[in-house]
Structure 1
Amino acid sequence: MDKRIEFERLLYGTTVDSLSSQETAKVKIKTLQEWIITNIPDRLYRFRANTEYAVSALRNDEIWGSNLWEFNDPYECIPFYNLDTIQSELERELSFEHILNLIQLFKSGNIPAAMTNAFGAEMVERIIANIPDRLDESALRTNCEIMKQQIIAFIVQNFNDLCDQFFTGILQAESQRHIACFSEHNDSSLMWGHYANGHHGFCLEYDFKSILKPCQQGCTDIKGCNNFMITPSIAPVIYSKSRFDATSHLLTVIQANIIARAEAPMELYYGDTLLISKCLLTKSLDWEYEKEWRLFSPPSIDSVTNHKVIFSLKPTAVYIGRRSSAEQAQILNEICKEKDIPCYQMIQNYHGDDFKLFPVSYAEYMKGTSPRK
């Protein structure tokens, strides 16, 4: 099985809700952590244009991340919601049978701990005290239907505002992070053309595998850990024909508005606390050629900036673009000497039938002992 498909099934299949215990959340997220640590490639590559700040970052071993608004795909990290799912969830949650079952649970005293956490002990006691000894199921059925129609009417009337809250909430959470993009390969002419200024730039090689380790922060609440409990936080992009389905968050938004209107002292229920990671890692199938891995900064509450340094790591090699100027190539080679890392020149292969580029030692290239064109 393709590794990315394996990760996609693992990530999308891992759901931690806000009522999960810390131990359950830890076990689930640890499974994702272990997959990433085991499967990250030995080397990842970052393409750069020949700019002053890119060369400066290389000198200083800085990895800069960009805000999602700087990405070139307007659908980048933008999820969608499914109206059919919303309707079916409302039908289930507001059905007479579901509410009757809840009442019977309260009445019997067999209340799940998760429900007590959601309602609060005081509210649970009030609910139990107000349950009559004998239920009028006919009246309850009528009241359930009335409540359902009122809630549906509220949703329909305020749907545009609810959708605004849905997208605003997700995008605000996403914009608290900066992302640096890496590829599994450095021989793609398309990648050099798109991300290294038409082959005039350069490519940096990094070894994340040897430094990747479980996070040691010891957070008391890890249910919403979108860093996969690893340092640094890095994961492969999932390429898909459809955007990520974040309907669970719209249901939370609807719930929040209903609770506020009813002034009920209830905790909000989040169906998927890993939702932000799933949004940030889902990308259109059109970009599959990139074979991308994403490095994330920790969430920040500071004002949004377009770019910032998110990690410090010395590259293990530098690759000079096929069309890089002699002057720029020499600058890059000198930096490599200072850092004691290999420097390569990318050249075309005239002896094969593919469109890939391949590297040769820059020193050998300049001596003329390797193919030059």
Structure 2
Amino acid sequence: MIIDEIKDFKDFGKVISYLSQIAPFLCMINMMPANINEIKKMGCQEYSLQTRKIMPKKLYKYFPNTIEEKTKANYSIQALRDNTVYMQTPNNFDDVYDSDINIDFEKYQKLRLIEYCSRCGIEVDKTLSMQEIGNIFLNVIYTSFKNFNDSRNAFIQKPDSEIKQLSNELFCTRLEINLRENNNDLGIAIGKTIFDEFNEFNDRLKNTFRVTCFATTPYSQLMWGGAYADCHRGFCLEYEILPNEEKYQEIYQNLYPMIYCKIRPDITERLIKIQDERMNKEALWNIYFHGALRKSIDWAFQNEWRLLLPMEKNQEASKYCMPFFPITKVYLGNRMPPIKRKEIIDICNEKNIPYIGVKRKSNVFEMEDCAIKCEECFKYKNDLHK
């Protein structure tokens, strides 16, 4: 029996990791086991509908309360004062797989060559190897250079959209640059051009949306103890979810629980079809479902919910700050210095937001609320005036 084999495991993470090894279809959503194959069948609308039913009444966000070196701004204080959350690009998250769309380069290269052959009026056998298809395309481009001293004449099929026309132009321009940089070796130049497209496409997919993350408890030692809350020196904000209020509908409908699983999906073929098309709702959901909402089951302890919003790159930083649900409580970190603690308390009093300190339990390895308020604590008052 499975239970007999895992009865010695004391750590939740080890239990989940073990189960995922023997049942790779297992996933965790909001701390509940699910079948990833069943989740895949849902689609955006059904997944959203089902997850509204299990959304917590409160969500929490941990803040380090530190000054950002580059901008010299304290975005933690800003989030408390303005009741906003900052929509981040996932490129700098602590999980290297986070929001990374799994596109296989070898498969991408072959599919892209098939597409370009089609635009040159050649329908190739898809069972051919990538090398064979590459040679067919190379010969077409070589003939165009030989007869017209240009690669553009190879693309004889009239594009069915302006985007595809621009895509052809961009390919030819990149090819000319790579030819000059690679001693006019056409094979190397084509390969380098496809690789450049691959990197650009990956970057574009990641910058299609922005994200901010939430927890479901204010007592997570792992969240308090890491960079999220500067090793207990930061604070945690509690938000009340108001599903029926009209002004919060956009953020409410774009909140999703993370899917923690073992296997990374390969959606190369599905995404490459929309590379030269305008982003639609189905394509965006593929990016969300297979990337931004998918993490290794090793992270299941975080039980994370995410706000995902389609956002353009290179906007002013202020435009990435989104108004969020009302703040209903502030939890002060166990190691927060007295001066910073006073600053947060003053803001809470000014905005009429309840607050409480978080301390260690004496008999178990857990965090809990302080029994008294900071202003009534002798230690706090004494440390504040040192």
Superposition TM-score, scaled by structure 1 size: 0.61
Aligned pair partner of 1:276 in 284, 287, 298: 287
Quick one: structure 1 residues 177 and 272, their matched pair in 2 at CA, closer, same or farther if it must change by over 3 Å? closer
The alpha carbon displacement at 1:291 in A equals: 1.2
> Which residue does the alignment assign to 2:133?
154
The alpha carbon displacement at 1:82 in A equals: 5.7
Unmatched runs of 5 consecutive residues or more in structure 2: 1-26, 67-73, 115-121, 136-186, 379-386
- The share of aligned pairs that are identical, in percent, is 23
Q: Is 1:340–2:352 an aligned residue pair?
A: yes
CA distance in 2, matches of 1:349, 1:200: 17
The alpha carbon displacement at 1:81 in A equals: 3.8
> Which residue does the alignment assign to 1:244?
265
The alpha carbon displacement at 1:304 in A equals: 8.5
C-alpha RMSD of matched pairs (Å)? 4.2
Aligned-partner residue type, residue 344 of structure 2: L
Aligned-partner residue type, residue 102 of structure 2: F
Asked if structure 2 preserves the Cα contact closer than 8 Å seen for 1:215 and 1:230, the reply is: yes
> Which residue does the alignment assign to 2:231?
198
1:358 aligned counterpart, secondary structure: strand
Q: Is 1:72–2:72 an aligned residue pair?
A: no
**Segment drifting more, 62-71 vs 155-164:** 155-164
Equivalenced residue count is 281
Quick one: structure 1 residues 244 and 168, their matched pair in 2 at CA, closer, same or farther if it must change by over 3 Å? farther
Quick one: structure 1 residues 184 and 282, their matched pair in 2 at CA, closer, same or farther if it must change by over 3 Å? same
> Which residue does the alignment assign to 1:12?
40
Quick one: structure 1 residues 214 and 230, their matched pair in 2 at CA, closer, same or farther if it must change by over 3 Å? farther
Q: Is 1:356–2:366 an aligned residue pair?
A: yes
**Deviation digits for residues 61-99 of structure 1, max 9, x if unmatched?**
111121122212232211324699889x99xx9xxxxxx
CA distance in 1, matches of 2:48, 2:132: 43
More relative contact order in 1 or in 2 (CA 8 Å, sep 6+)? 1
Asked if structure 2 preserves the Cα contact closer than 8 Å seen for 1:349 and 1:356, the reply is: yes
CA distance in 2, matches of 1:67, 1:306: 14
Aligned pair partner of 1:44 in 41, 59, 64: 59
**Segment drifting more, 156-165 vs 271-280:** 156-165
> Which residue does the alignment assign to 2:241?
208
**Segment drifting more, 231-240 vs 268-277:** 268-277
Quick one: structure 1 residues 86 and 179, their matched pair in 2 at CA, closer, same or farther if it must change by over 3 Å? closer
Within 5 Å, which residues of 2 pair with 1:98-247?
Answer: 149=128, 153-154=132-133, 161-162=193-194, 164-194=196-226, 195-210=228-243, 231-247=252-268
The alpha carbon displacement at 1:211 in A equals: 5.3
The alpha carbon displacement at 1:174 in A equals: 2.5
2:218 aligned counterpart, secondary structure: coil
Quick one: structure 1 residues 176 and 310, their matched pair in 2 at CA, closer, same or farther if it must change by over 3 Å? farther
**Deviation digits for residues 139-161 of structure 1, max 9, x if unmatched?**
xxxx9986754987235876775
The alpha carbon displacement at 1:288 in A equals: 2.1
Asked if structure 2 preserves the Cα contact closer than 8 Å seen for 1:64 and 1:309, the reply is: yes
Quick one: structure 1 residues 84 and 327, their matched pair in 2 at CA, closer, same or farther if it must change by over 3 Å? closer
Superposition TM-score, scaled by structure 2 size: 0.59
Quick one: structure 1 residues 204 and 211, their matched pair in 2 at CA, closer, same or farther if it must change by over 3 Å? farther
Quick one: structure 1 residues 152 and 12, their matched pair in 2 at CA, closer, same or farther if it must change by over 3 Å? farther
Unmatched runs of 5 consecutive residues or more in structure 1: 15-27, 94-142, 217-228, 257-265, 369-373
